[in-house]
Amino acid sequence: MSDAARPGAPTMRAWVVEEPGPLDQRPLRRARRPVPEPGPGEVRVRVLACGVCRTDLHVAMGDLPLHRRGVVPGHEIVGRVDRLGPGADRFEVGERIGIAWLRRTCGTCRFCGRGAENLCLEPAFTGWDADGGYAEYAVVDEAYTYRLPDAFDDVTAAPLLCAGIIGFRALERAEVPPGRRLGIYGFGGSAHLTAQLAIHRGATVHVMTRSDSARRLALDLGCASAAGAFDEPPEPLDSAILFAPAGDLVPVALGALDRGGTLAVAGIHLSEIPPIDYARELFQERQVRSVTANTRDDGERFLREAAEARVRVHAVPWPFDDAAGALDALWDDRIDGAAVLVAPPR
């Protein structure tokens, strides 16, 4: 679909990234776009809320290469179906659904064939390859959407769709032994959800993060301790998850692991990792694992468990018209939990 609206065609408000760059250059800009029409097997949603994810920062600032000039960011989308494309029959008009990061997979490559669609050779992602939720409407293949638990309202449901799902996969990759000790490095939108799942599963959770207010939130959510990002936890860790995009924390987290421990690195972007002391930080069967996107099964399992665990989503509603300000606040660590753009009045 062309970005130029046909004369007389309906348009919508949106935020787009034309030229990535530092935030003071305002890479996220207002625009008017044609209201998209759903294609075969697709649905269109009227966006109610869209979470602000650190990946949106990476797209806007150019840490991730721009896949589509003028892309609308946002991949934690809560909306109501308002139009069905040809052949779409999974939902009824008016149903509330979620649109997440994973937008399309090929279904035929060696990874899709073994159930690892998160490693698909030809994937597409919402808000990177195709327009996302920093807009009034969005379209998506109905096969890549989620029904949302009634336990979460629009604002609290939005962060579940990336921060929650990716945190869930990171927790799985960290392989926390039952009832054992998990360390979490960085405590933002994803970490505060993952910590609650780990506690629900019986783990003791220790948080290391640079923000005083994030440490207070961690303790309020039931974590056993909360300290500075480079501090040692009060006991050796069986597993750890690195959410902060800071490569210099990799050796720190490895050094805090007990023998046989696993570190999962949850970010899509990470600054340079300094040299690792093999004998002190990696020997004795410590291991490092990356986390790459998610499968749809991850999303379904997480949403069920989040509802069962009664996860508290610390969401900060943010005006749609100040989306650029939300990215600024995220960059400056001025948001505890997750910022969520609230749909503008119509």
Which residues of the chain form CATH 3.90.180.10? 11-161+314-342
Fold classification of 164-290 (topology level): Rossmann fold (3.40.50)
Do residues 339 and 52 lie in contact, with contact meaning Cβ atoms separated by under 8 Å?
A: yes
Distance of alpha carbon 128 from alpha carbon 53, whole angstroms: 12
Average pLDDT over residues 313-326: 96
The residues that bridge with 182 in the sheet, in sequence order, are 205, 239
> What pLDDT, in 10s, does the model give residues 259-293?
999 999 998 889 999 999 999 999 999 999 999 99
Does residue 320 register a pLDDT over 50?
A: yes
**CATH architecture of the domain with residue range 11-161+314-342:** Alpha-Beta Complex (3.90)
Report the C-alpha gap between 141 and 291 in whole angstroms: 24
What's the pLDDT at 336? 81
Q: pTM of the prediction?
A: 0.92
Phi, psi (rounded to 5 degrees) for 168: -60, -45
Q: Mean of the pLDDT values across residues 185-200?
A: 96
- The percentage of residues in the chain with a pLDDT greater than 70, rounded to a whole number, is 97
| Short-list 159, 17, 14, 144, CA closest to 78 | 159
Question: Which phi and psi (to 5°) does residue 138 adopt?
Answer: -150, 150
Percent of the chain with pLDDT over 90: 93
Whether the predicted pLDDT of 2 surpasses 70: no
* pLDDT tens per residue across span 32-55: 999 999 999 999 999 999 999 999
pLDDT of residue 335: 86
- For residues 14-37, give the mean pLDDT: 96
Which tokens in the block code for residue 158? Answer: 């939005």
Confidence of residue 71 (pLDDT cuts 50, 70, 90): very high
pLDDT surpassing 90 at residue 219: yes
Q: How far is it, in rounded angstroms, from Cα 340 to Cα 342?
A: 6
**What's the average model confidence in pLDDT over 311-334?**
95
pLDDT at 5 over 70: no
pLDDT at 150 over 70: yes
Evaluate if residue 246 carries a pLDDT over 80: yes
- pLDDT-derived band at 7 (thresholds 50, 70, 90) equals low
**In whole angstroms, what is the distance from residue 131 CA to residue 139 CA?**
8
Q: What is the pLDDT of residue 235?
A: 98
pLDDT at position 126 over 60:
yes
CA dihedral over 300, 304, 307, 312, signed as positive or negative: negative
Whether the CB-CB separation of 141 and 41 falls below 8 Å is answered with yes
CA distances from 93 to 11, 157, 338 (A): 21, 19, 29
**Residue 48 vs residues 126, 136, 154, 252: alpha-carbon distances, Å:** 16, 8, 7, 40
296: pLDDT strictly greater than 70 = yes
**Residue range(s) of every CATH 3.40.50.720 domain in the chain:** 164-290
Q: What is the mean pLDDT of residues 180-185?
A: 98
pLDDT-based confidence at residue 1 (cuts at 50, 70, 90): very low
Query: At residue 149, does pLDDT exceed 60?
Result: yes
**For all residues of the chain together, what is the average pLDDT?**
95
Neighbouring-strand partners of residue 104: 124
> In 3-state terms, what secondary structure has residue 20?
coil
Closest CA to 230 of 251, 214, 216, 245: 251
Band (315; pLDDT cuts 50, 70, 90): very high
How much is the average pLDDT of 303-329? 96
